[in-house]
Amino acid sequence: MKRTQLGEFEEVVMLAVGILYEEAYGVSIKKEIEGRMSRNVSVGALQSALKRLEEKGFLKSREGEGTAERAGRPKKYFSITAEGKKALESARDMRNAMWNDIPNMSFDLKIAF
């Protein structure tokens, strides 16, 4: 069985693809992430993450139209597969479970010291 674990950046990329829905391709994903996380995303990091996710079967892609500002190069649109959705959900569930298990005490650090 393939590992369904998602890395932090991978998860962000998947979520961005989900948000953009029909419009998710390289540049738009990059902008989405940069806009939300106020950090720089290099084309290299993004592309290799996308490639990895596609190989894992979490994303699927289709070829889109070429536009003038891309000098006629086609876009590659991504969308989340069912398996990808499952992986996202399990990542979220795991986090929620972990959040729930934190006793309230540990947030009251001021009292303890």
> Which residues are near another protein by CB under 8 A?
25-27, 30, 42-45, 47-48, 51-52, 66-71, 73-76
Distance CA 16, CA 82 (A): 16
Q: Output 3 or 110, the one with its CB closest to another protein.
A: 3
Nearer to another protein, 25 or 58 (CB): 25
Cβ 51 to another protein shortest distance, Å: 5
Instruction: Tell the smallest beta-carbon distance from residue 6 to another protein (Å).
Output: 16
Count Cβ atoms within 10 A of the Cβ of residue 80 and give its class: 0-12 exposed, 13-18 middle, 19 or more buried.
buried
- List residues bridging with 63 in a β-sheet: 76
CA separation for the pair 110, 8 (Å, rounded): 30
Which residue number, 63 or 101, has a Cβ lying nearer to another protein?
Answer: 63
- Least separation in angstroms between residue 26's CB and another protein is 4
14: left (phi over 0), alpha (psi -120 to 50) or beta: alpha
Nearer to another protein, 72 or 103 (CB): 72
